[in-house]
Structure 1
Amino acid sequence: MRKLKWQWGVAALLFVGALVAVFVLAGPESQVGRPNPRQGPPGTGPLTLVAMGDSTVSGEGAGAYTAETNGTNGNWCHRSPNAFVNLTKLTGIDARINLACSGAPAAQVGLGDVKQWTEPSQSAQLAALLKDHRVTAVVVAVGANDDPHFSALVNGCFKAWFSASGPPCSEAIRRSWQSTVDAMVPKVVNALGDIKKVLADAGYVPSDYQLVLQSYAAPIGPGIPENLRTLNGCPFRVEDLAWVSQDAVKSLATGLKLAAKQAGARFLDLSRSGGGHEACSGGADMGREWFTRLTLQLQDLKDLERAPHAVQESFHPNAAGHVQMARCLSEFLGTPDGNAACLTGADGNLHPAPEVTAN
């Protein structure tokens, strides 16, 4: 009898010990060993979409720039209320924040001491934002101002138009273009890595947010009426227009897609999004165009500090272009997996076409 009582006592102790182990390991909120799912991003504040990067994101070319980014105290980031981030629609979003700055290189988007038009690191700005915002998506466009120096490329082609006896700009640029794109890739990867670090340091896990890297659209193309290949519109040689739209922008997109893959980000390809809507492609009907033509702010020429920025918004997406980019991005963010390309649909608007991969 004593032996039987001893065995029951041991069994009871083992049972109690097992229960204690279950509660210690699983925690009081666990149900049958299954943790409760996270209810979105951590922290407090409004659910927020954040845009980071350079002029494509800031809204350069879309006009109505905020006063503090339109030359005040040397800040020329040119953030516009017409920028696509302010127009993007995503279920549950309460706030949209634009941290992008015109001309920004990857190093200023990432962490560090690099400034752009007086503004510090965009990733550091993101870290501050996370204190009172819950970020559900971060959209980035960066890289063109690094080794490819895309704006300098456009300027070089502009100069080549003046010298009819000299070679087209693309003749020299194409020789090193791929190497400049290759050199850009790790810089973009580092910037995306810094963004992910900032989010992780704030308690985010990858499932809490979407990180999207997008490429660039070609602002100019070969289908320009001859009377607009002048200072009144788009002063470029035909062969240079073709190279920029058919080769340069596509190679840049391929490099950025690689950067997105290496950084663990989604990729949205805009390299073919502007076809038929480039600057000057509308001829007499500028309303068909999604990019600015050569734009000179005459009033800026009267001010020595503003004069160097008088043509800054030329050959960037205009307000109509940002509407189209916002439409495509909204639909893309609504499908949380995979990559896509923004292409013109049957309705004449941009929509994301999912990437097709071979089995």
Structure 2
Amino acid sequence: MSRRAVAVVLVFPLLALLLVVSDSPYPSRPGPPRDAPRALVAMGDSTMSGEGAGNYEPGTNGENDNWCHRSRDASVWKTRVAGVGMAFNLACSGANSEQVGITDQVRNTEGSQARQLAEIARRYRVSVVVVAVGANDDPRFADVLGTCLRAWIERRADCSKSMADEWRARVDRMVPKVERALRDVRRVLQDVGYTPRSYTLVLQSYAAPVSPDLPLDLQNLAGCPLRTGDLSWVGERAVPELSAGLREAASAAGARFLDLADAGRGREACAGGKKPEEEWFTRLTVDFDGLRDEARARHALQESFHPNARGHEQFARCMTDFLATTARSAACRADGEGNLRAVTDRD
């Protein structure tokens, strides 16, 4: 067979294939349009939603029993990422890892945050996902503080004495749940066309809201009614061990990690004494108007010992600093001017 004949034999099948392709074009590329605005998405629980910062978005302050308390002063609205102009806050006060992941569970009238993320990711180009979750799983940190509050009221022994032996086990049980939630975040993004390298996933930990370094005249219902031993345990053991567990979960899921365990040092609730405006956390906060309403009464203390607007601004400063690096992990530390910055192992 001549070379021309061989060429004809090879070319005709190729032409036929091109005709088939032209009649059946490739399906559209999954994910958002190429010119979609880039977005930052916050997910998780109260420390990310903005609980304690006030200025809550309509519909999340008890309306129709939605107590997500998403604040317009939450850190997500103050975090800056180069080239990213949109932000979304999916976090909900009280959420646990299951609610962040793929689930049919409903809390505060809202369902899976991961599924909500998928809807956003189809319309916007999600560049960064920041997650704060885990404290409402087995550690049940809010309940722990409530138990310690009752110990102060009833003049019982430090509640930390009963918590200490089981705390590490609680944290250990939490770790795989947080890891699963982070993997669910990756899964929904993959399903709509994202690759792991097309976005940044960050897990942040929690800052200790209280410290034993507070005036004795505020160690009461006017400020921080917790026993000294319990205050020490929260800052020196409970929060650091919680952060260590979250670091483990982040590493297992391939997420970056920002450690906030010491972020509020010296700025905890009541640490400012007569200058509460210098604190980054709410003191004991009671919604007295809510106490008159049976439906709202059980949420009357909900804001207590959460970061306030100043705290969220500082956490956002640290997150902004961290996202500008390529470091896998960092810790928030105050600089010479008292502002938080992300300190990596290289710093």
**TM-score, normalised on structure 1?**
0.88
In the TM superposition, 1:180-219 aligns within 5 A as 180-219=170-209
2:308 matches 1:318: yes
Give 5+ residue unaligned stretches, structure 1.
Answer: 1-5, 25-39
* Distance in 2 (alpha carbons) for counterparts of 1:78 and 1:159: 25
Question: Among 25, 36, 45, which residue is 2:36 paired with?
Answer: 45
**TM-score, normalised on structure 2?**
0.91
Residue 114 of structure 1 and its aligned partner are, at CA, apart by 1.3
Q: Match of 1:216, SS?
A: coil
Question: Among 237, 251, 255, which residue is 2:245 paired with?
Answer: 255
The answer to whether the 8 A contact 2:33-2:123 is kept is no
2:141 matches 1:150: yes
Question: Among 103, 110, 122, which residue is 2:113 paired with?
Answer: 122
In the TM superposition, 1:297-312 aligns within 5 A as 297-312=287-302
Q: Which residue of 1 aligns with 2:164?
A: 174
The answer to whether the 8 A contact 1:210-1:336 is kept is no
| Superposition RMSD in Å | 2.2
For residues 57-88 of structure 1, give each alpha carbon's deviation from its aligned partner in whole angstroms, at most 9, with x where no partner exists. Answer: 00000001112000111100000000000111
Q: Match of 2:298, SS?
A: helix
Q: Match of 2:123, SS?
A: coil
Q: Which residue of 1 aligns with 2:89?
A: 98
Instruction: Give, as a single letter, the amino acid of the residue that structure 1 aligns with 2:299.
Output: H
* Distance in 1 (alpha carbons) for counterparts of 2:208 and 2:134: 15
* Distance in 1 (alpha carbons) for counterparts of 2:187 and 2:146: 36
In the TM superposition, 1:258-273 aligns within 5 A as 258-273=248-263
2:81 matches 1:80: no
Q: Which residue of 2 aligns with 1:344?
A: 334
* Distance in 2 (alpha carbons) for counterparts of 1:123 and 1:65: 22
Larger Rg: 1
Q: Match of 1:56, SS?
A: helix
Give 5+ residue unaligned stretches, structure 2.
Answer: 19-30
Q: Which residue of 2 aligns with 1:33?
A: none
The answer to whether the 8 A contact 2:32-2:121 is kept is no
Q: Match of 1:283, SS?
A: coil
Q: Match of 1:136, SS?
A: strand
Percent identity (aligned):
51
Q: Which residue of 1 aligns with 2:54?
A: 63
The answer to whether the 8 A contact 2:327-2:344 is kept is no
* Distance in 2 (alpha carbons) for counterparts of 1:125 and 1:338: 26
* Distance in 2 (alpha carbons) for counterparts of 1:201 and 1:245: 40
Q: Which residue of 1 aligns with 2:23?
A: none
Instruction: Give, as a single letter, the amino acid of the residue that structure 2 aligns with 1:85.
Output: V
The answer to whether the 8 A contact 1:221-1:244 is kept is yes
* Distance in 1 (alpha carbons) for counterparts of 2:162 and 2:262: 24
The answer to whether the 8 A contact 1:68-1:75 is kept is yes
Residue 307 of structure 1 and its aligned partner are, at CA, apart by 1.3
Residue 355 of structure 1 and its aligned partner are, at CA, apart by 3.0
